[in-house]
Amino acid sequence: MCTVLAGNQRVGTMTVIRYMIKTEHCAPSLVAKHFDVFDLVRGDGYWRGKHEQSISITILGAEADLEKIMQLAHEIRTQYQQDEVWITYESVTLRRVLRPYTLSRAAKDSQ
């Protein structure tokens, strides 16, 4: 799994896989059993013309994480008795934040 930290790190970019799981219900604790770092965003969705809660879970990882993603999606579908859970994934370029951006630095940059 890829863990991204902001701070003083080496310059560089890396290619990672951005996985997204779309579901109606999911507790963060279930995702945390499989992954240490993830985003969970709640919103509104529509399924077969009806409004429902929607959850998007985003995980940055490697190609090798696909099996863990599939296992997580299966657990979500089973535990919450959902008709379907969707997974999308794509290769993305990640650029690290090199150092904190402060007001003093912003003032310097504007000169």
Helices assigned H by DSSP within 1-111: 28-32, 66-79, 103-110
Q: What is the pLDDT of residue 10?
A: 52
The residue among 48 and 64 whose pLDDT is bigger is 64
Q: What is the pLDDT of residue 95?
A: 83
Distance CA 65, CA 59 (A): 10
pLDDT of 9 above 70: no
- The average confidence (pLDDT) of the chain is 84
pLDDT of 31 above 80: yes
Share of the chain above pLDDT 70, in %: 77
Q: What is the pTM of this model?
A: 0.75
| Residue 46 CB burial class (10 angstroms; 0-12, 13-18, ≥19) | exposed
